[in-house]
Amino acid sequence: MPVSILHKTVLIVAGLTALVIGGSMLASPLAFYAGYGIALPSDVSLTNELRASGGSIVMLGLLILGGLALPRFAIASTLLAAAMFLAYGAARLTSIGIDGQPSTGLVTAMAAELFIGAASLFALIAARKSA
């Protein structure tokens, strides 16, 4: 099945976003979170846990981009992108309802996650209709 320009664009944006975010978390979790105004304690176990999360996001980004290299996986990659970004965005939205307003950077991250997740879902639906 050919992958449309819209679909390819969504996969590129979602995959590269995941690679950059995950890579930043993996390379330097203290600096990454400081960018959101979060001062983390110097705790080896916490740093280990945050790097592990970053590594998983990097892997998800690679799997999302894999849909570009192997078009037969484009639908699965798009579903993965929609699930990942909508889950992050929805969890942040839930947290706002429970815990209150976080920093502006985290609200911006939530908006970007919901946008990329919705765009992925839209591309998935469009691809399924054209199949």
In this predicted model, what pLDDT tens digit does every residue of 15-45 receive, in sequence order?
Answer: 999 999 999 999 999 999 999 999 999 899 9
Query: How far is residue 26's CA from residue 104's CA, in Å, rounded to a whole number?
Result: 23
For residue 131, the number of C-alpha atoms closer than 13 Å in the C-beta half-sphere is: 11
Cβ atoms of residues 8 and 107 within 8 Å: no
Q: Please provide the average confidence, as pLDDT, over all residues in the chain.
A: 95
In this predicted model, what pLDDT tens digit does every residue of 87-100 receive, in sequence order?
Answer: 999 999 999 999 99
- Token output for 130: 């054209």
pTM over 0.85: yes
The Cα-based distances of 110 to 3, 34, 55, 126 in angstroms read: 28, 17, 20, 24
Q: Where are the alpha helices (DSSP H) in 28-103?
A: 29-34, 44-69, 74-99
